[in-house]
Amino acid sequence: MTSITGHSEADAGPSGDMAATGRVGDRIFSALATGSGVFVVTLIGLVAAFLLAQAVPSLMDNKASFLTSREWQVSAGDLRFGIADLLWVTVISSVIAMAIAVPVAIGVALFLTQYAPRRLARPFASLIDLLAAVPSIVYGIWGYFVLRDFVQPVQSFVESALGWFPLFAPLTVSGTIFLASIVLAIMILPIITAISREVFDQTPAAHKEAALALGATRWEMVRTAVLPFGKPGVISASMLGLGRALGETIAVTLLLSVTRGTFSWSAFAGGETFASRIANGSAEFDTPLKTGAYIAAGLVLFLLTFAVNAVARIVIERRKAFSE
């Protein structure tokens, strides 16, 4: 994770090319290292190839539109499945999670880099990192058994106040997208914080001192020097958090009530994300065609997270180009 803001490998490090003498040991070692690198690159290609190869037969047999249908009927002989509602639930739950997590993460990162006493900053940061160490299934059971009862009143309040708006339409579901989003927000908070912290820390002291010398208060210094400098890093961190939220499986599977056959735009509905649909279906992976339907959903999830992560990477690369 820390690597994202690191320097690119190509332009750093010693060359030592002259020391590579062409001896047997050197050739073996170089082959092992290059081979491992090539393996990692091929691995991603293999993931895409295998998922695609096993999704295609099911997609060909699919009698419903894969992109627009809300059906999920995968028993043999009559394949009718589509990802419309999966896409909606996946995206809206992750977006709500981002809306909650990003502001808090920026606040925490600012606290750790600009406000906290120097001596305490490191232990405090470790505490936040601990959030990332908690396994996702523990988030799931905690959200289900503990947090749900606390979220319920908030939910009813929003429903009664803003129920006219489709996103907040009242429904009687116990495991809502809203609940899942809050838990997702907690799960991605440490990721966004860690990377934001790193970029805020890199703000040139000269920028900050200049702001202070011009009479800025601490907040004005943060607003005029730290935040603009860290902005691409925060965007990139948020994208990585988003990628994590999109693919989170078990916590969402435990939290969301499965409500097939009904659909609502409301955040207080149940539903399934790509990941939770696959997890819920994992028991019925018996025929290749049926499994292929789930693999097709997995492929879309893979492409979605690939795109989000690639954008995150490009944003941070561009920042590096400007700041050097």
Partner 1 sequence: MSTVTSSTEPSAVPSVGGGLSGLSRGRSVTNSIMTVVVYAAFLLALVPLAWILWTVLSRGYGLLMDQNWWLTSQRGITPRRVGGGAYHAILGTLVQAAVCALIAVPIAVFTAIYLVEYGRGKLARAVSFMVDILTGIPSIVAALFIYAVWVTTFGFQRVGFAVSLALVMLMIPVVVRSTEEMLKLVPNELREASYALGVPKWKTIARIVIPTALSGIITGVLLGLARVMGETAPLLILGPYSASINTSLVDGPMAALPTMIKDNFGQALQPATDRLWASALTLILLVLLLNGAGRVVARFSAVR
- CB nearer partner 1, residue 149 or residue 164: 149
What is the footprint of partner 1 within residues 211-240 (CB under 8 A)?
A: 212, 215, 217-220, 222, 240
What is the footprint of partner 1 within residues 106-135 (CB under 8 A)?
A: 106-108, 110-112, 114-116, 118, 124, 126-128, 130-131, 133-135
Look at residues 202, 195, 197 and name the one whose alpha carbon lies nearest to residue 229.
202
- What are the angstrom distances between the C-alpha of 300 and each of 20, 147, 183, 217, 244? 44, 31, 23, 48, 15
**Of the candidate residues 148, 208, 290, 319, the single one contacting partner 1 (CB under 8 A):** 208
- CB nearer partner 1, residue 159 or residue 201: 201
- What are the angstrom distances between the C-alpha of 272 and each of 78, 108, 131, 213, 293? 22, 31, 25, 54, 15
- CB nearer partner 1, residue 121 or residue 167: 121
What backbone torsions phi and psi does residue 280 show, to the nearest 5 degrees? -65, -30
What is the footprint of partner 1 within residues 298-317 (CB under 8 A)?
A: 298, 301-302, 305-306, 308-310, 312-313
What is the footprint of partner 1 within residues 51-110 (CB under 8 A)?
A: 51, 53-54, 103-108, 110
Residue 146 binds to partner 1 (criterion: CB under 8 A): yes
Question: Residue 204 is encoded by which pair of tokens?
Answer: 């040139």
Residue 4 binds to partner 1 (criterion: CB under 8 A): yes
CA–CA separation, 144 and 134 (whole Å)? 16
Per rule CB under 8 A, count of chain residues that contact partner 1: 113
Question: Residue 196 is encoded by which pair of tokens?
Answer: 């934001």
- CB nearer partner 1, residue 185 or residue 266: 185
What is the footprint of partner 1 within residues 15-34 (CB under 8 A)?
A: 16, 18-21, 23, 25-26, 28-30, 32-34
Q: Give the burial string for 122-140 (b: 16+ CB within 10 Å, else e).
A: eeebeebeeeeeeebeebb
